[in-house]
């Protein structure tokens, strides 16, 4: 029997997501001891020592189910944003919140609008619900919100932007976001994915307080994650804030214990260590600007980034560069799945990792390590 014919047609057309190549896999495949991963925009300094110490103490209760709705974490997040716990849903990574939004709201009759090089996970998830994905071309590698607003029709259920965007690292200004919100009909949801918020928030025109806007716009959902600046990618913690009724629907369809016991508690602890968060962000942004310059000197077309990674046109095909760097034990991200065969995305590492990257790049580009 052909199992494929049993699957939903929209499941068949979705390509799988290719995450950054894991360190353990490269170690196994190439027999390398030391591998540097600059492929998934993780925090190169790890989680706060306070969170790590807390986790070591907190393992005694792992035989118990966690509180299903993560009430304490939701309250803490609500407080952080000056909202009610009813305005917050937590997910197994913000990826789960994207999934919940698509599952709750999208049907095959719906259109979603996103941009051409917008974060691919949203497109995949929307397609899995059978929705039609309309991709609006970017302008200078930024979401063109005016054109996106013009593309809205009575079929448009959702508009999704990541700001800063993955993989381009670009963001949209407060004014642009505001104009888009004003242009959208109340029946079209706007999802703003702020996974890289902490790296962008010091940019003068970045919308620092988009979470405040959910009070005024019940069709707005803002997503955040603990996977980047908080350094907790392995614990899978993300959340969305929005109108209480809308959030209530997401909460209703999530898995009963979607966030693990340690994840809920670690997130609470991480919220308390703002000094660690700020320090990591400050080092990463300085390193990012220095790395951008060094890459430009090597012939890369680097796009200005407001995130913890760089998006760059590569002097050779991205996949070729990826393979050459792997041999030196450095993992970067080729972008073929976006149709960008001559671009790469490189996460900002710790200073020594960035130096190792540059050395590996020099020999890869010389062809000395083919």
Ligand X SMILES: Cc1ncc(COP(=O)(O)O)c(C=O)c1O
The 10 Å Cβ neighbour count of residue 370 is 10
What is residue 307's three-state secondary structure?
coil
The Cα-based distances of 180 to 105, 150, 152, 159, 172 in angstroms read 20, 10, 11, 10, 11
Verify binding: residue 104, ligand X, rule CB under 6 A.
no
Residue nearest to ligand X (CB): 93
| Closer to ligand X by Cβ: residue 76 or 233 | 233
Three-state SS across 3-72?
Answer: HHHHCCHHHHCCCCCCCCCCHHHHHHHHCCCCCEECCCCCCCCCCCHHHHHHHHHHHHHCCCCCCCCCHH
According to CB under 6 A, which one of 95, 243, 251, 273 is a site residue for ligand X?
95
Instruction: Give the separation between CA 270 and CA 77, rounded to whole angstroms.
Output: 11
- In 38-155, the DSSP E strands lie at 88-91, 111-115, 132-136
| Residue 63: CB minimum distance to ligand X, A | 26
Q: Which 114-143 residues touch ligand X, going by CB under 6 A? A: 119
According to CB under 6 A, which one of 134, 195, 330, 335 is a site residue for ligand X?
195
Instruction: Give the separation between CA 222 and CA 88, rounded to whole angstroms.
Output: 10
User: Among 118, 116, 100, 120, which Cα is nearest to 16's?
Assistant: 120
| Closer to ligand X by Cβ: residue 223 or 360 | 223
Verify binding: residue 93, ligand X, rule CB under 6 A.
yes
Q: Are 237 and 266 in contact (CB under 8 A)?
A: yes
Verify binding: residue 163, ligand X, rule CB under 6 A.
no
Site track for ligand X across 38-67, x = CB under 6 A:
---x--------------------------
| Closer to ligand X by Cβ: residue 95 or 243 | 95
According to CB under 6 A, which one of 70, 94, 305, 354 is a site residue for ligand X?
94
Cα atoms in the 13 Å half-sphere on the side-chain side of 55 = 17
Q: Which stretch binds ligand X (CB under 6 A): 92-100, 134-142, 254-262, 295-303?
A: 92-100
Q: Which 217-246 residues touch ligand X, going by CB under 6 A? A: 225, 227, 233, 238
Verify binding: residue 168, ligand X, rule CB under 6 A.
no
Q: Which residues of the shown chain bind ligand X in the complex (CB under 6 A)? A: 41, 93-95, 119, 162, 166, 193, 195, 225, 227, 233, 238
């Amino acid at each position: 029997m052909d199992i494929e014919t049993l699957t939903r047609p929209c499941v068949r057309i979705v390509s799988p997501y290719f995450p950054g190549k894991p360190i353990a896999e490269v170690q196994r495949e190439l027999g390398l001891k030391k591998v540097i991963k600059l492929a998934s925009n993780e925090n190169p300094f790890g989680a706060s020592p306070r969170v790590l110490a807390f986790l070591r103490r907190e393992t005694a209760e792992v035989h118990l189910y966690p509180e299903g709705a993560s009430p304490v974490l939701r309250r803490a997040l609500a407080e952080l944003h000056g909202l009610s716990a009813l305005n917050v849903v937590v997910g197994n990574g913000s990826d789960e919140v994207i999934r919940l939004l698509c599952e709750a709201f999208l049907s095959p009759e719906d259109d979603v609008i996103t941009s051409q090089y917008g974060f691919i996970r949203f497109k995949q998830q929307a397609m899995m619900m059978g929705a039609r994905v309309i991709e609006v071309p970017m302008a200078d590698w930024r979401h063109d919100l005016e054109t996106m607003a013009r593309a809205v029709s009575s079929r448009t259920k959702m508009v999704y932007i990541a700001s800063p965007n993955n993989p381009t690292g670009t963001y949209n200004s407060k004014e642009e976001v505001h104009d888009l919100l004003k242009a959208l009909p109340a029946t079209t949801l706007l999802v703003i994915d702020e996974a890289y918020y902490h790296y962008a928030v010091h940019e003068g025109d970045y919308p620092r307080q988009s979470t405040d806007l959910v009070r005024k716009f019940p069709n707005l959902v803002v997503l955040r994650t603990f996977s980047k600046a908080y350094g907790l990618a392995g614990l899978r913690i993300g959340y969305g804030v929005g109108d209480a009724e809308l959030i209530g629907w997401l909460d209703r369809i999530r898995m009963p214990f979607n966030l693990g016991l340690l994840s809920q508690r670690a997130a609470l602890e991480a919220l308390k260590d703002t000094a660690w968060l700020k320090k990591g962000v400050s080092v990463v942004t300085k390193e990012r600007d220095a790395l951008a310059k060094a890459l430009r000197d090597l012939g890369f077309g680097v796009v200005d980034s407001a995130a913890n990674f760089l998006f760059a046109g590569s002097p050779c095909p991205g996949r070729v560069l990826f393979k050459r760097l792997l041999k030196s034990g450095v993992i970067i991200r080729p972008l073929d799945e976006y149709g960008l065969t001559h671009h790469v995305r490189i996460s900002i590492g710790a200073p020594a990792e960035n130096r190792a990257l540059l050395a590996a790049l020099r020999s890869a580009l010389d062809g000395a390590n083919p």
